[in-house]
Amino acid sequence: MKGKLYALFFALIAVLFSACGSNSNDVVSPNGEIRVQLTLTPTADSEYGTVSFAVEYGRGKSAQTLLSGVTLGMETDAQHFTDGLKLISVSEPTPIEEAYKMITGKRSHCFNSGTERKYRFENEAGGQFDVVFRAYNDGVVFRYDLTALGEGTEYILSESTVYPIPQGTNRWMQTYAIDYEGFFPLNTDGSVAGRSRFPNYWGYPALVEPQEAVFVLITEANIRRGHSGSRLYNGNSPDRYEVQMPDEKVAFSGAWSSPWRVLMVGSLADIVESTLVTDVSEPSQVGDTSWIKPGPASWVYWAYNHGSKDFQIVKDYIDLAAEMGWPYDLIDWEWDVMENGGTIDDALSYAHERGVKPLLWYNSGTSWIGPGAPGPLDRLIDKATREQEYAMLNGMGVAGIKIDFFAIDGAEMMNYYIDLLEDAAKYNLLITLHGATIPRGWQRTYPHLMTTEAVYGAEWYNNNPLLTPRAAAHNATLPFTRNVIGSMDYTPGTFSDSQNPHITTHGHELALYVVFESALQHMPDRPDVYRALPEAVKTLLSGLPTAWDDTRLLGGYPGEEVIIARRKGDTWYIGGLNGTEDARTLRFTPATLGIEGLSIALFKDGADPRSFTLEDSTPILDPTAEIAIDCLPRGGFTAVIH
């Protein structure tokens, strides 16, 4: 028996290492820091078995295994690729080299640079499927490629991808909800905190710290037609997070490729600065993009829930946008029943007179909302009606729409998102998705997708008191989790109170405009609040970019603090947040940004939480010298380096 096992062992080694004609089947990043190692574990007395992989970070003796035993496999109604597999070929390492531009996001010039290998497996019935891996300097991605048997329809039933995360490992995960509006609390045992409509289900992105100061962020990218948006499930074991679809089955015919499973890997700076989600997504499908312009928008809903019904209130927000130099004003729900001196036609005319581009809210019309849902409703579901509405809006000079209230991330809903985006491009309409799924790379494929909610944001000050005591830590966690994967419509900068107060400082709230990336940054507070701000603060907000040429993380740790620098042209904007209940000094060094001989303006916490301390532009005499900013509890700062 021992001889048979040894023979089997060496046969497997031969299969694994001879197929590619080299000494290793590993996939290695261009800088050599990240390595993917595949393992085939045989079943008894068989050359077939289960397939898993590990991710190694670092080189030589300093290398660390971050994830191990990540299982692979797919099952359809006609084919089984889970536990009876053997490796039959491995492609040679192929370099991936692509440069592309982004209109929105954390960086305008991006580089998709990695190493790819394709592994072909065969099951005991002779069926074959491929797993494609890419290793990047900031992470790993993989996908499944398979072909349906015959010419008919086949159904994806399940995926066998499982991420083991041992007990005691720091993780910041959000319990799954269809709108992705939840917190990312620090957890070490995989238990569910609080209630969930979907027990033991977790949404993307999921941040894990498998080794001290080394992180993995788990998500997915490149959702296309026929794809279901997946989620994670650890109900069978708290340490094992299974990739699961909300659909019982997903139909396909011919060749089929899954979305990319994405693992960003490295320091927190590697995670925050990564563009991996857009790197592996489809290129832009929009030819002429000259009409796509990021920018701030005044927004009525946060301060006046039913304000879009009131023509006079809407006019005040249009006036605010004109005064502040913001290009847009978002007229939210119930604009179709506007009263008090004017209709939506009057509001649009007034906006055009003031040089402001109007945006309008729409209900997606998904049936799960039920009767009595806010309007306008049911104008976008049917393609013919949708295109008629889009054409009308374009003719009326509407610049874009915010579409709200979407259902669960099944393939049918993913197709609907794509329908909405593709048709909107024909009529030069910017899109904001609200009450919606997370970004999965569409901001590259459809660059008129300006921002997506999918966050427990400032809107929740309207709904219940939960955000008030948790906002500071939550805000200092989002840059490492949700905002990593795409624009985030948090609606930051609430200096006054809504139905529930905020206890973050003015310095903290101002910094959110820089710390949180959103190509359409909706400015939520009351017009009189903005008008009463110090002149220097108003000047900052009037010229604040919302899409960036570069992004750097200068320091921080989830839930404690964060300092992010974003560049537009020759100017760096730096935002810092104290996420704790104690006073804290935040520090950064200008030289890390590669700048010298410039000046810096500071907007800091004042003597009390609802005031500012402002420091005019002063020369940076020594860019290598550390700049220290004292912050109040739940405080923050903004710096502008010219």
Q: What pLDDT digit, counting tens, does each position of 569-579 carry?
A: 999 999 999 99
- The distance from CA 476 to its chain's CA centroid, rounded to whole angstroms, is 15
Task: Tell the residue number behind the tokens 């459809």, with chain if given.
Answer: 446
Question: Does the residue 308 lie in any domain?
Answer: no
Is residue 354 over pLDDT 60?
yes
Predicted confidence at residue 621, as pLDDT, reads: 86
Summarize the confidence of residues 404-420 as an average pLDDT: 96
Predicted confidence at residue 367, as pLDDT, reads: 57
CATH number of the domain enclosing 104: 2.70.98.10
In angstroms, the Cα distances linking 124 to 48, 50, 213, 640, 642 are 7, 12, 43, 63, 65
Q: Choose the weakest-confidence range: 2-11, 112-121, 331-340, 488-497.
A: 2-11
Predicted confidence at residue 106, as pLDDT, reads: 97
Summarize the confidence of residues 135-156 as an average pLDDT: 96
Is residue 193 over pLDDT 80?
no
Summarize the confidence of residues 602-624 as an average pLDDT: 95
Confidence of residue 133 (pLDDT cuts 50, 70, 90): very high
- Residues catalogued as catalytic: 404, 459
Confidence of residue 598 (pLDDT cuts 50, 70, 90): confident
Three-state SS at 260: strand
Question: Does the residue 285 lie in any domain?
Answer: no
Query: How far is 105 from 546, CA to CA, in rounded Å?
Result: 8
Predicted confidence at residue 360, as pLDDT, reads: 98
Predicted confidence at residue 177, as pLDDT, reads: 94
CB 471 within 8 A of CB 502: yes
What dihedral angle (degrees, nearest 10) is formed by the CA atoms of 220, 103, 489, 581?
90
Question: Does the residue 456 lie in any domain?
Answer: no
CB 614 within 8 A of CB 558: no
Predicted confidence at residue 2, as pLDDT, reads: 38
C-alpha distance across the termini of the chain, in Å: 74
Is residue 371 over pLDDT 80?
no
Query: How far is 311 from 56, CA to CA, in rounded Å?
Result: 59
Residue % of the chain over a pLDDT of 90:
90
Query: How far is 584 from 635, CA to CA, in rounded Å?
Result: 8
Query: How far is 65 from 45, CA to CA, in rounded Å?
Result: 30
Predicted confidence at residue 6, as pLDDT, reads: 35
Is residue 14 over pLDDT 90?
no
| Mean predicted lDDT score pLDDT of the chain | 94
Burial of residue 199 (CB within 10 Å: 0-12, 13-18, 19+) is: exposed
Is residue 13 over pLDDT 70?
no
Nearest partner of 103 among 426, 328, 423, 430, judged by Cα: 430
Fill in the amino acid letter for 542.
Answer: S
Summarize the confidence of residues 554-568 as an average pLDDT: 98
Burial of residue 391 (CB within 10 Å: 0-12, 13-18, 19+) is: middle
Query: How far is 79 from 150, CA to CA, in rounded Å?
Result: 12
Fill in the amino acid letter for 168.
Answer: G
Summarize the confidence of residues 136-150 as an average pLDDT: 96
Nearest partner of 453 among 522, 504, 400, 386, judged by Cα: 522
Is residue 313 over pLDDT 70?
yes
DSSP annotation of 339 reads B
User: Residue 627, Cβ neighbours under 10 Å: how many?
Assistant: 17
pLDDT greater at residue 9 or residue 377: 377
Predicted confidence at residue 426, as pLDDT, reads: 98
Phi/psi region, residue 200 (left: phi>0; alpha: psi -120 to 50; beta: rest), is: left
DSSP annotation of 91 reads P
Summarize the confidence of residues 312-323 as an average pLDDT: 98
CB 279 within 8 A of CB 110: yes
Give every CB contact of residue 214 below 8 A, 6+ residues apart in sequence: 57, 64, 66, 265, 266, 267
Predicted confidence at residue 45, as pLDDT, reads: 78
Question: Does the residue 549 lie in any domain?
Answer: yes
Q: Which among 279, 299, 334 is the end of a domain?
A: 279
Is residue 21 over pLDDT 60?
no
Tokens of 18: 């001879």
Question: Does the residue 60 lie in any domain?
Answer: yes
Question: Does the residue 262 lie in any domain?
Answer: yes
The total number of structural domains that make up the chain: 2
Predicted confidence at residue 373, as pLDDT, reads: 75
Q: What pLDDT digit, counting tens, does each position of 23-38 carry?
A: 489 999 999 999 999 9
CA atoms within 13 A on the CB side of 282: 14
Q: Which among 279, 307, 340 is the end of a domain?
A: 279
Summarize the confidence of residues 431-441 as an average pLDDT: 97
Confidence of residue 377 (pLDDT cuts 50, 70, 90): confident
- Whether the full predicted model's pTM is greater than 0.85, yes or no, is yes
Confidence of residue 341 (pLDDT cuts 50, 70, 90): very high
In angstroms, the Cα distances linking 278 to 36, 112, 344 are 21, 9, 37
Query: How far is 355 from 359, CA to CA, in rounded Å?
Result: 13
Tokens of 514: 């820089």
Q: Which among 279, 298, 314 is the end of a domain?
A: 279
Summarize the confidence of residues 480-484 as an average pLDDT: 98
Question: Does the residue 364 lie in any domain?
Answer: no
Predicted confidence at residue 194, as pLDDT, reads: 61
Tokens of 303: 């301060």
Is residue 332 over pLDDT 70?
yes
CB 371 within 8 A of CB 353: no
Summarize the confidence of residues 257-264 as an average pLDDT: 98
CB 481 within 8 A of CB 172: yes
Domain of 629? Answer: 466-518+528-642
Q: Please give the full DSSP string across 453-507, using - where no structure is assigned.
A: --S--GGGGGT-TTHHHHHHHHHTTGGGTGGGGS-B-------S--SS---S-HH
Query: How far is 192 from 175, CA to CA, in rounded Å?
Result: 7
Summarize the confidence of residues 122-143 as an average pLDDT: 97
Q: Is the dihedral of CA 271, 272, 274, 277 positive or negative?
A: positive
Question: Does the residue 106 lie in any domain?
Answer: yes
Nearest partner of 422 among 284, 586, 302, judged by Cα: 284
CATH number of the domain enclosing 570: 3.20.20.70
